[in-house]
Amino acid sequence: MNTWIQINVGWGFAVTFSALTVSKVSGGHLNPAVTIIDYNYYSSQIIGAFLGAAGVYVLYYDLFEAFDGGIRTISGPKGSAAVFTTFSPDWLSPRGAFIDQIVGTGILCLFVVAIIDKKNKIPEYLHCLFFGLVLLMIGCAFGANLGYPINPARDFGPRLFAFIIYGPEVFTYPYPTYWLITIIAPLIGGVLFGWSYYFFSGFHIDEDPITAMKESEYEPVSTTDIPLKVVKH
């Protein structure tokens, strides 16, 4: 199987099972670009990504040693920092990287919003699976430029860990503003594309009257709360 496909499938399953694990606790918030307005999750998402990167380094430490002989470098034939975070290739301009992250993250958020929209009647137990399939699709179709970071926490958390191993160059290679692109552009794309779903589709779907009734703000009233009069015949 092609290595790139293996990576995409692995990321897809990782998102599916990660979201499934915390779906009943937080709703499966793994990405600040999706969470956006609930900033309380940001620190947890970044810390989780940092610890995940640390776990990868510990697990594959011997492989790193065999690969580079203990000399950790970011680029070149023995560069390994891209295992943890992303770096823009030489041929991609900052503008191209910014657009890439707006589009990639935007597509993710658009489909996430469509999946969780109750008007589409997608069973809740399928949501996490579909989240993973969306990520798999994005990786296959939109991953050629940057490896689809499309998640500020997924890129920044491991970058912080890589800083410990590789030094400050992880924030300056290939240019000093790249790491900011992977934070700012996804947030913009998430908002733009997420709302575009509602403007072009969500607002135009008729709401199921049964669902609307269940979500009504009115509470059912017990018959014992209603005074009854005895009627004599």
Mean per-residue pLDDT for 207-217?
57
Residues of the chain above pLDDT 90, percent: 78
pLDDT in tens, 48-106: 999 999 999 999 999 999 999 999 999 999 999 999 999 999 999 999 999 999 999 99
Burial of 228 (0-12, 13-18, 19+ CB in 10 A): exposed
Give residue 230's pLDDT: 46
Q: Write down the H helix ranges in the chain.
A: 3-26, 32-35, 42-59, 61-68, 94-116, 127-142, 152-166, 178-200, 209-214
Classify residue 49 as exposed, middle or buried by CB count within 10 Å of its CB (0-12, 13-18, 19+): buried
Residue 76 to residues 82, 89, 143, 206, Cα–Cα distance (Å): 11, 12, 21, 55
pLDDT score at 220: 52
When the candidates are 2.60.40.10, 3.30.300.180, 3.30.1330.10, 1.20.1080.10, the CATH number that belongs to 3-225 is: 1.20.1080.10
Q: Where are the domains of the chain?
A: 3-225
65 phi/psi in degrees, rounded to 5: -60, -45
Count CA within 13 A, CB hemisphere, residue 224. 0
The residue-averaged pLDDT of 184-198 equals 95
Mean pLDDT to the nearest integer, 126-153: 96
Q: Which is nearest to 18 in space by CA: 124, 127, 138, 143? A: 127
Q: What angle, rounded to 10 degrees, do the helices at 94-116 and 127-142 form?
A: 160
pLDDT greater than 90 at residue 113: yes
High-pLDDT (> 70) share of the chain, %: 88
Q: List the structure tokens of 31.
A: 């990405």
Q: Which residues of 86-118 are buried (b: 16+ CB within 10 A; e: fewer)?
A: bbbeeebeeeebbbbbbbbbbbbbbbbbbbbee
Report d(CA 159, CA 170) in Å as an integer: 7
